[in-house]
A and B are shown apart, each in its own frame.
Chain A
Amino acid sequence: MSAQTRVFLGNMAFVIKKMMGRKKTDRASRLRFWSALNDVGINSVFFIVITLGFVGTIMMLHGGYQAARIIGDSNLVGPQILPLMIRQLGPTLAGLMVATRVGTGMAARIGSMVVTEQVDALRLSNACPVNYLITPSWHAALVMVPILSIFGITAAFFSGMLTAYVVFETAPGVYADWSFVSGLDAVEALIKSISFGAVIPLIAGTCGLSTHGGSAGVGRATTNAVVLSSLAVIILDFFIGALILGLR
């Protein structure tokens, strides 16, 4: 393990310890939480709806062409891709998009505060940088990533429906057949999106606080934030998926 990795893991342990510690909630901290909700949630809705909308169309096109080629009937595709959207692509791609948009944003903001010594100013005023900068986003992401996943799944559902109707002439009623969707799919989506919400701000915030060395350092921290948090999303997705597959 390189020295860099050790420093990063140490910083992350410090961040977790600070986040778990008792902290007072006053009006200012509630305001920070609301503004983080706005940043993580409201500002990402558009981005997530657009990207997941493309995903729904892409899935329907793939599924429809394959079904037409091998089975000769693309009406069966809708019921088959709905569970896949709910338990897999919705939460995972929403998580990746949050890592891309919110994770880099947090690392860039905190990193530039570190190099312009604003974080030192926070410490001087006896404000904990972790509680001030990371905790609000962490709480906000726990709440917002599941909600964003629901938005994303809805967008993918409707764009898939539109594609099915326009390209394959599948009636919306035939496409929206929920008989293959089980409660376990919804549980899987919820577990995935909550755990993505928990790790993304943690990793991105740690990358931001570990920044050193001017504007090159801020660039490095932001790059690390997006790479590590996306990788965490993919790895968590694998293990949660394997766990739920074992329960089926």
Chain B
Amino acid sequence: MSWGSFVRSADEMLTLILALVTGALGGRFDARETWQQLYLVGVRSLPIVIVTAIFAGGISAIQVSAHVVRFQAYDAVGWGFGFVVFRELGPLLIGLMFSGRVGAFNAAELGTMKVTEQLDALRVLAINPLNYLVGPRIVAMVVMMTALVMVGNVFALLGGMLTAQVLVDVDPMVFWISLTDYVRPVDLFNGLVKAGLFGFVIGLVSCRHGLAVDGGAPGVGRAVNQAVVASALGIFCFDYLVTAILP
């Protein structure tokens, strides 16, 4: 990526943020579109988030167990697990899957609307595409990503308990007690802050790449590719910032 394209992309994202803020201040949020986006984003990604969360829970339990078996510290499984999943791996893996499912879909949808001139049609109808399309989408992604990580935490916990029980024979009650003893509410809260920020990054980046499409079907494919790559970079970057700022 050259400096020119970097500056252009930053400029376009600032335009989108500006449109979001002015739209919110001026009350130009289309309520029906927002509800519809909330519903679509949630419904579209719920199954994939549940599957990801169960396996993420299982993976974390396996990796924590490998440490625990070495030190014979069976009552630390819940602590290690809860901390890793709620704070780090849960939001991260769910965020990456969300970026693939919702972010990529969003970039593709907006890109298709652009190449089939539907955005121009909106302008002809005196509807500002930035207010009408971008605002509700970003809001829906922030809200739904947070909600989905909450749901995902529950399923990850189930997956982790089941894996620990089956593979290293840790009783679910022991698991639960060590989890509730050591994991603080602030760890859960920290994960949800990450989730909301990831939702914002995914929404912003996918809208930007979707609206910047040109060149027909190949352009749409390229935009989706760039959107998921940039979202992943953004996710890791914000993950670092939140970890460093909120210990």
Contact = CB atoms under 8 A, between A and B. Distances in A.
B189 interface: no
A218 B243 CA distance: 37
Contacts of A111: 217, 221
Interface string B1-26: 00000000000000000000000000
A222 B104 contact: yes
Interface residues of A, dominant DSSP: helix
A246 B244 CA distance: 35
A223 interface: yes
A108 B111 CA distance: 13
Q: How large is the interface on A (under 10, 10 to 19, 20 to 34, 35 or more residues)?
A: 35 or more
Interface residues of B, number: 57
A238 B237 contact: no
Given A215-B115, A234-B93, A88 B59 contact: yes
B97 interface: yes
Interface string B82-116: 01100110000100110111001101110110011
B55 interface: yes
A100 B228 contact: yes
Given A57-B244, A61-B243, A235-B55, 18 more contacts: A47-B229, A58-B243, A61-B247, A62-B88, A96-B96, A100-B229, A104-B224, A107-B221, A108-B218, A111-B217, A215-B111, A215-B216, A216-B112, A222-B225, A234-B93, A238-B58, A241-B59, A245-B62
Interface of B: 48, 51-52, 55-56, 58-59, 62-63, 65-67, 69-70, 83-84, 87-88, 93, 96-97, 99-101, 104-105, 107-109, 111-112, 115-116, 163, 167-168, 182, 216-222, 224-225, 228-229, 232-233, 236-237, 239-240, 243-244, 247
10 contacts: A54-B240, A92-B59, A108-B221, A112-B216, A215-B217, A215-B219, A216-B220, A219-B107, A222-B108, A226-B99
